[in-house]
Amino acid sequence: MKKIRMGMIGGGIGAFIGDAHRRASRICNDFELVGGVFDVDYERSKEFAVQEGISLDRCYKSVDDLIKAELAMPADKRMEVVAVVTPNALHYPFAKSLLQNGFHVVCEKPMTMTVEEALELEELVKKTKLTFSLTHTYTGYPMVRQMRDLIAKGTLGTIQRIDAQYYQGWINSIIHGTDSRIKGVWRLEPEHAGVSSCMGDIGVHAFNLIEYTTGLEVKEVLSDLNSVKEGIKLDLDGTVLLRFSDKLKGVIRSSQVCGGEENGLTIAVYGSKASLKWGQENPNYLYMLSDSEPTRIFKPAHGYNDKFAEMSHTMPAGHPEGIYEALANIYRGTAKSIRGQAYIPGEFPTVHDGVRGMKFIHSVVQSNKMGNVWVKIS
Ligand SMILES: NC(=O)c1ccc[n+]([C@@H]2O[C@H](COP(=O)([O-])OP(=O)(O)OC[C@H]3O[C@@H](n4cnc5c(N)ncnc54)[C@H](O)[C@@H]3O)[C@@H](O)[C@H]2O)c1
């Protein structure tokens, strides 16, 4: 099958997630990177294109230049999809222009800066019928998909409690370092990051994982956020109480200053009959707990898994499926959608997940600002 011609905005030399996107798109083998605007600095962007063996003719100075030049090409040469992997503030303007000009979009989270922008993108995707894939990477793990299927089948009985946590520690040493080090981190600057650092960057992954695995919607939040140190403009740590209904509550705990923590994303869903626990740092193990039986462990690449989890492993059992493979699974689902092939809902997070994420982030910040009160996620 012909590869899908992909462009990329951001992801140049030294950038973090763009590199993972390229590797994932190669693992799934459905895409070919043909050009882009790889860096805010054009010289560095060209340097990157040379390194990657991408024609300098398709290394553009700006997204506007890219759109203009690509639209002038014959349809069978033109980029079909563009991955937006820049800092948060640029997702909305770039994704909007790309959709308006007929390009499918892969976009990093958080999807936009405001809820209004997110709703606008959702409308645009509905109107254009283009594919919009939001890379909440963790939804691509086989055992997260198995968890979703087990919950959908009612294996846990009535869900009674949901706990998710995402702890990192890397900002700890930065805020206790020099001012210039703090200024070098765009995640700490509202103009680049948005209204939140911790909840916007990683709390939103925990939120997405809860809604993805359970199929439930969080209805209300009450948050207590902490910017930890004088002069820091955004939250670096926080706890969010969740209400799904009168009889179902939960919590998200998230932090970027838990020294020594790496990417400690965990989720536990407790039901009347059984419970499921999964953690990102040990992603091939899904634990099922019950009061009456010994703990069971589900692992990828076994016939006992459901179809969705089964089609989400790349290697035979016992070969760890990691973050690149998870992202590759999202790229594979995205490719099916672009090609008009059938796919399972959940094979890639959508623009609607982006809207939910933005509502979560803004409700959490509002709850904290108003003195830690309950705020409805409309
Ligand atoms: N899904 C995940 O698990 C995950 C993980 C990490 C980061 N992210 C998200 O990915 C995005 C990027 O994060 P990162 O850590 O890779 O950032 P980064 O700072 O490492 O890289 C950003 C890149 O964007 C480029 N850029 C900036 N302005 C640009 C412009 N105007 N035109 C073209 N390129 C421009 C920079 O030059 C750089 O190459 C963020 O939104 C972040 O939240 C998601």
pLDDT recorded at residue 256: 98
Contacts of 21 (CB under 8 A, 6+ apart): 8, 11, 83, 85, 106, 135, 327, 331
Ligand 1 centre from 10 Cα, in Å? 6
Ligand 1 centre from 189 Cα, in Å? 14
Tell me the residue ranges of DSSP E strands in 142-274: 159-167, 220-226, 237-245, 248-255, 264-271
Cα dist from 62 to 47, 96, 113, 117, 205, whole Å: 15, 14, 21, 21, 29
* Residue extent(s) of CATH 3.40.50.720 domains in the chain: 4-138
- Looking at ligand 1, which atom is closest to the CA of residue 12? 39
Give the strands of the sheet with 264-271, arranged side by side.
Answer: 296-298, 286-289, 275-279, 264-271, 159-167, 248-255, 237-245, 220-226, 375-376
Ligand 1 centre from 90 Cα, in Å? 9
* Residue extent(s) of CATH 3.30.360.10 domains in the chain: 141-310+351-369
171 contacts 242 by C-beta, under 8 angstroms: no
Q: pLDDT for 111-137, tens place per residue?
A: 999 999 999 999 999 999 999 999 999
pLDDT recorded at residue 177: 86
Collapse the DSSP code of 251 into the 3-class scheme (helix H, G, I; strand E, B; otherwise coil) and give the result: strand
Is the pLDDT reported for residue 282 higher than 90? yes
Give the strands of the sheet with 4-9, arranged side by side.
Answer: 31-37, 4-9, 81-84, 104-107, 132-134
Cα dist from 209 to 32, 102, 162, 167, 188, whole Å: 29, 30, 11, 14, 24
Please report, rounded to a whole number, the percentage of residues in the chain having pLDDT higher than 70.
100
Ligand 1 is surrounded, with C-beta below 6 A, by 9-12, 15-18, 37, 39-40, 85-88, 90, 108-109, 135, 137, 201
Contacts of 213 (CB under 8 A, 6+ apart): 144, 147, 148, 151, 267, 269, 276
Is the pLDDT reported for residue 182 higher than 90? no
Say whether the peptide bond before residue 74 is cis (omega within 30 degrees of 0): no
In DSSP terms, which residues pair with 36 in a beta bridge?
8, 59
Ligand 1 centre from 284 Cα, in Å? 27
What is the Cα–Cα distance from 34 to 20, expressed in whole angstroms?
17
pLDDT recorded at residue 106: 99
Ligand 1 centre from 88 Cα, in Å? 7
Q: pLDDT for 91-103, tens place per residue?
A: 999 999 999 999 9
pLDDT recorded at residue 303: 96
Collapse the DSSP code of 234 into the 3-class scheme (helix H, G, I; strand E, B; otherwise coil) and give the result: coil
H or E, element range at 127: helix 115-128
Contacts of 267 (CB under 8 A, 6+ apart): 147, 162, 163, 164, 165, 206, 209, 210, 213, 277, 278, 279
Residue 19: CB atoms within 10 Å: 15
Mutate to test the pocket of ligand 1, among 40, 189, 204 (most ligand atoms within 8 A of CB): 40
Q: pLDDT for 13-59, tens place per residue?
A: 999 999 999 999 999 999 999 999 999 999 999 999 999 999 999 99
Q: How confident is the model at residue 178 (pLDDT cuts 50, 70, 90)?
A: confident
Residue 362: CB atoms within 10 Å: 22
Mutate to test the pocket of ligand 1, among 8, 13, 17 (most ligand atoms within 8 A of CB): 17
pLDDT recorded at residue 147: 98
Collapse the DSSP code of 132 into the 3-class scheme (helix H, G, I; strand E, B; otherwise coil) and give the result: strand
Question: Closest residue (by CA) to atom 22 of ligand 1?
Answer: 86
What CA dihedral angle connects 72, 77, 83 and 84, to 10 degrees? Answer: -20
Residues 4-138: name the CATH superfamily: NAD(P)-binding Rossmann-like Domain (3.40.50.720)
Ligand 1 centre from 298 Cα, in Å? 34
Cα dist from 81 to 78, 167, 312, 339, whole Å: 9, 33, 22, 11
What is the Cα–Cα distance from 52 to 213, expressed in whole angstroms?
37
Residues 141-310+351-369: name the CATH superfamily: Dihydrodipicolinate Reductase; domain 2 (3.30.360.10)
